[in-house]
Amino acid sequence: MNIFQQLWKSLYSPKTISFFRFQGIGKTISYIFLLMLISSLPFFIQFSLLATSGLSSFREVIQQEVSSFTIEHGQLTSPSPETKWIKKGTTDIIIDSTGTVAANDLAEKDQAIGLLKEELVLSVGGQLQTVSYDIPGITAIDKEEVIQYAHSLQAYSAIFLPVLFILYYLFTSCLGFIKASIFAAFGMLFKQLTGRKLFYRQSWRLAAYAMTPAIIVFTLLRLAGIILSFSFLIDWLITAIMLFLAVSSIPLPKSKKQPVAK
């Protein structure tokens, strides 16, 4: 069974997952890298859109609809006392020199750029990236310089985007291996509860494949622009249930099977 057939079977068949406990560790490691690549797709796609159309919208809004402002001593100041929240295409653009908008307020937006009181905030698919204005060597930035920086970022996106994506993918993959290791420990607990014979290395393999349904579901939801509350808990609950079912699908040791009535 190739890796893509394993992906399909792991979506719905705990019994098939239980057979994967005997396969080589290298194939399981490759499978986790594949899962993490899939889970990274929404970020790759949405951030690419933000770096192209999003930055273009941001520049237009700054040029046409925002009065002069200055970023100095780590803070945004503006003659206008109001917060501007402008929708341009698929991008929400927020200019707030009052300090009333927090970075988390942008988390519900699929694609947003915020010039807040003390930081620049990018929201991509509910994931926030913040950049403090308090950067050594930079004393003051005005409106025209911000527009120029946005233009430069857009011009060099073909260079920095691949680097960003690789770093993000490596970080996500590390989290995937950590998650598999944690759930492997849960698998040993499920082994005790169900009376199955299972070693930690086998439980780790099962945990890797048990992550599949949650990762695929949440990847599709993020691609559709749907962000669920308590998604972290739901993700772990789905994975725990699939792992429990996979462990339960392992045949009982012969000594623990009920004798056949004569």
pLDDT of residue 138: 67
Closest CA to 83 of 101, 68, 96, 66: 96
Residue with tokens 């937006």: 109
pLDDT above 90 as % of the chain: 44
Average pLDDT, whole number, for the chain? 87
Going by pLDDT thresholds of 50, 70 and 90, the confidence category of residue 149 is confident
Q: Which residue has the higher pLDDT, 138 or 113?
A: 113
- For 63-86, write each residue's pLDDT tens digit: 888 878 888 878 888 887 788 888
* Range among 96-110, 120-134, 176-190 rated most confident: 176-190
Inter-residue contact 75 to 251 (CB < 8 Å):
no
Least confident stretch, 111-115, 134-138, 152-156: 134-138
Closest CA to 2 of 35, 36, 31, 25: 31
Going by pLDDT thresholds of 50, 70 and 90, the confidence category of residue 258 is low
- For 16-66, write each residue's pLDDT tens digit: 999 999 999 999 999 999 999 999 998 898 888 887 778 888 888 888 888
* Euclidean distance between CA atoms 252 and 188, whole angstroms: 15
Tell me how far apart the 2 most distant CA atoms of the chain are, in Å.
92
- Paired tokens of 167: 């770093």
* Euclidean distance between CA atoms 139 and 184, whole angstroms: 50
pLDDT of residue 43: 87
- For 16-26, write each residue's pLDDT tens digit: 999 999 999 99
Inter-residue contact 51 to 157 (CB < 8 Å):
yes
Give the length of the chain. 262
Q: Which residues have C-beta within 8 Å of that of residue 237, sequence separation ≥ 6?
A: none
- Paired tokens of 179: 């998650």
Paired strand residues for 140: 72
pLDDT of residue 106: 83
Task: With a cut of 60, say whether residue 262 has pLDDT above it.
Answer: no
What is the arithmetic mean of pLDDT over 4-9? 94
Task: With a cut of 80, say whether residue 137 has pLDDT above it.
Answer: no
